[in-house]
Structure 1
Amino acid sequence: MKIFYRTAATARGGRSGESRLDDGSFAVNMVRPDSGETGVNPEQLFALGYAACFDSAMELVAKKLGLSAKDASSTVEVGIGQRQDGGYALDLDITAHLPGMADDDARKLVEATHEVCPYSHATRGNIEVRLHIDTKDV
């Protein structure tokens, strides 16, 4: 595989520490979801990255399919829970907001996007991912 881009991040202190991009451009305080402290957790960061990646892939796929994805957006909800074997797993819902698009076109676009998106590829087969479509006008 030809790598187009690579980045690195370093975490110190896990869910109660700090995470930062190694180039110094972004850093966040990490907190546990139930702590009441100010900061973010890994699931929120994953949701941000996945939503941006999916939305970008959806723009690309819409052009290839000859569809207009004007005013489109993507929402990714990330849950975390404990597996029966004691480990932990993520659970995902992706909603593609495609105002005014015909339902059949929207479904075709979202399914094709889910095949192209690198995050979708990385999660396929090991994380429950449900796709949703919202075609209501804003």
Structure 2
Amino acid sequence: MAITPIDVLYTAVATAENGRDGRVASDDGKLDVVVNPPKELGGSGAGTNPEQLFAAGYSACFQGALGVVARQAKADISGSTVTAKVGFGKTPEGGFGLTVELSAHIPAVDAATAKELLEKAHQVCPYSNATRGNIEVTLSVV
């Protein structure tokens, strides 16, 4: 899949120390967290982990994309939420990979409209565009 060039409007910068068992901080100081592997992966679980950070970023970004497509469709998404579940595991090739489940609760629209909005948001969201063809992403309305 070819990489599509973009006109960069913003660049986030973060630096990790000691990988999955250390610290991650943004260059502006707004993010500074301890990261530890979760207990399920043999770690202490004392800090956050990269999968939680990815889930947080993806859910926030997808919620923003949902707002864009909802405005275009003149649909009411007030009171909506997006939850991202990021799974971490072994690939058949012996490496590691991720899966993502995105679920949205959109109380002000019917299920068919909600599903349509999710599909459209999945085409707009930068995280969805970055992961498309690389990891399994499932969408659901709750």
TM class by smaller structure: over 0.9
Deviation at residue 101 of structure 1 after TM alignment: 1.4
* TM-score for the superposition, normalised by structure 1: 0.94
Which position in structure 2 is the counterpart of 1:90?
A: 98
CA distance in 2, matches of 1:27, 1:116: 29
Which position in structure 1 is the counterpart of 2:3?
A: none
The answer on 1:21 being equivalent to 2:26 is yes
Deviation at residue 61 of structure 1 after TM alignment: 0.6
Which range moves more in the overlay, 85-94 or 96-105? 96-105
Number of aligned positions between the proteins: 134
Where structure 1 has 5 or more consecutive residues not aligned to the other structure, the ranges are: none
CA distance in 1, matches of 2:59, 2:139: 12
Deviation at residue 36 of structure 1 after TM alignment: 3.0
* TM-score for the superposition, normalised by structure 2: 0.91
CA distance in 2, matches of 1:24, 1:63: 33
Once the two structures are aligned, what percentage of the paired residues are identical? Answer: 42
Deviation at residue 100 of structure 1 after TM alignment: 3.8
- Change in 2 beyond 3 A, CA 1:37/1:112: closer
What is the RMSD computed on CA atoms of the aligned residues?
0.9
Deviation at residue 112 of structure 1 after TM alignment: 0.2
Which of residues 34, 44, 47 in structure 2 aligns to 1:36? 44
